[in-house]
Chains A and B, each alone.
Chain A
Amino acid sequence: MDMLTQALVDGLLTGGLYALIGMGMTLIMGVMGIINLAHGQMMVVAMYVTFVLFHYLGIDPYITLFISMPSLFLLGIFVQRFLLNPLMKVESILPENQVLMTVGIGMVLTEIMRFIFSSNYQTVRTSYSDLTWFIGDISLGAPFVFAFLMAALLTVLLFLFLIKTDLGRSIRAVAQDKEAAQLMGIDSEKIKVITMGLGAALVAAAGTMLMPVYYLYPDMGGAFTRKAFVVTILGGLGSTVGAILGGITLGLAESLGSTYIGQAYDDMVGLIMFILVLLFLPGGFKRLTKV
């Protein structure tokens, strides 16, 4: 029983982070209509930003959030402005050229990281990395709790931003109907640039929060891109509420999978869920919640 509760708690906490990663992707998906296959790689860039700041300047990883998020925001803006928006004007037979472009960007980001930092595993060890709290027999890793709370806070802020501000409304308008939004005087190119920046900043937050408890190497981005993808499929394409549910579901499934089946299979669990959802619930949780 304790093992089950422990697995559930662990899954819930990691799920919060997955939700954060998935939300960035689903936001980009909603507005751009494309899937960002450089998402995990952007997260790795953010993690290296945190690593450098911690290692050379001794800044606490959580404080580096104020640097990693804006720098990834800028990276997202650059990518969208100079690499993805120009593709609108390119005439190509291949329909998926924007997605291919994000693959290329992901490869370049990974290799640049490898050039600078080599393929070695890096870690950020802080005083609280191993800190655990106990509730009965259930252990709670402090960094995981912080990460979960931060994910929840950012989710609330994102919702307030999307619902209350003009810019947020414009983003939702472009996601709903691009032509109509343009007729209302919204510069959809600009909205796309901002959305990409936001998505990158969200995934940067996830990366930085993961840093105290996770190791870091250039190739890890691909695995997280796949996780983000599974989260968006589980949640339903373009749905932010769905992404939260999807993230927590994936977190729980992975944690239960590695507890009861075996550590080596935790990548497979996500894929099996993905196939089950496609078979039995095409459209994801969005179908159930109608949000």
Chain B
Amino acid sequence: VAFLKRHASALVFLALLVAFPLVVGNPYYQNLMIMVLMWVAIGSGWNIIAGYTGQVSFGDAAFFGTGAYVAGLLAFKLGVSPWWGLALGPLFAVLIAFPFGWICFRLRGAYFALATLALNEVMRHIATIWESLTNGMVGITITQTFVSKIPYYYIALAIAVLSIVSVQLLERSKWGYYFVTIREDQDAAESLGIDTHYYKMISLCIAAALTGVAGALYMNYMGFIDPREVFSLHDISIMAILVGIVGGVSTVYGPAVGAFIMVAVSELFRTGGFGVLDHIAETSGLAWIQVLTDYIKEAHVLGFGILVIVVILFLPNGVVGDWHILKRRVFGDKLEAA
């Protein structure tokens, strides 16, 4: 009962999410929610390595793409069910993360960040050049298992819940405290006898595993991948950072909130304000609005860039982390009256 009480709001929310596809039958919204749930897993992974451990990663796409390619190649080359990718994808992502971390955790802060960015690019190059294995730029196509989106939705939900729960458990564990200590002062952590290199490796491997699962899910769900898409710097790695910082770094529910906001924002750009702008352009017949709409549809990367700048300047700890500040700004007067 104590458990129920403590997590009451989270459980209510979970119940709503379980009911969602039964209530909303529209596949478009189901698709968006699957994307949100996938980003919850990726964002949680990024949050562990960057938010808790303080080692900002610009290369989440390397792990995401590895997971996706492992799942895809299982079906494409070996004829095995791509769902094995959910187990093997994270394994291979960790196999990439391990030697990378071993070498690159000698770097600190921004230099580590750039090394991850380089890893991202190298993985994309490998996937492009090694045509005999990966089919190069042509990409991999597999047959999807289900026609309906509902099974994918529940698998995505399970993965999202798994990642939130693991962050929650991690936060209160010895490892979690070590991670935060490393973020706050690596030298002090070292002097207290924490093997910082070892714990940074653990943190990176957990993050890679979560991101790899998300990648394998993506392959199964989409049925098609190519190197430009799953190893994309802007659409995967930067998006992962945004999910993390918009929601709130080193908060358990931050990535969930961030994933929701970011999927909504990128969809807002892609569809030109959910078709509202198209509608205005059509009804008013003004040519310049149509031109503007076409620009906005192309501009999601610009929007992400501006969002990075604005969030870092004005909401440095994200929606969840700076909730009390947001609340004061929006409901400021009411609170003071009370």
Contact = CB atoms under 8 A, between A and B. Distances in A.
A86 B106 CA distance: 30
A285 B245 CA distance: 36
B114 interface: yes
Interface string B80-113: 0000000000000000000000011011011101
B250 interface: yes
Contacts, number: 125
A17 to B, nearest CB: 20
B65 to A, nearest CB: 17
Contact of A226 (B110, B121, B302, B316): B121
B319 to A, nearest CB: 14
A35 B312 CA distance: 17
A275 interface: yes
A96 B301 contact: no
Contact of B238 (A94, A103, A112, A271): A103
Contacts of A35: 110-111, 113-114
Given A92-B316, A94-B316, A237-B111, A108 B309 contact: yes
B25 interface: no
Contacts of A101: 308-309, 312-313
Contacts of B249: 93-94
B108 to A, nearest CB: 10
A87 B118 contact: no
Interface residues of A, number: 42
A56 interface: no
B129 A264 contact: yes
Interface of B: 50-51, 54, 56, 58, 103-104, 106-107, 109-111, 113-115, 117-118, 121-122, 125, 129, 183, 233-234, 238, 241, 245, 249-250, 295, 299, 301-302, 304-309, 312-313, 316-317, 321
Interface of A: 34-35, 37, 83, 86-87, 90-97, 99-101, 103-108, 110-112, 115, 222, 226, 229, 233, 237, 264-265, 267-268, 271, 274-275, 278-279, 282
17 contacts: A35-B111, A86-B313, A90-B316, A94-B317, A95-B54, A95-B183, A96-B54, A96-B110, A100-B245, A103-B238, A103-B241, A104-B309, A111-B301, A267-B121, A268-B125, A275-B103, A278-B106
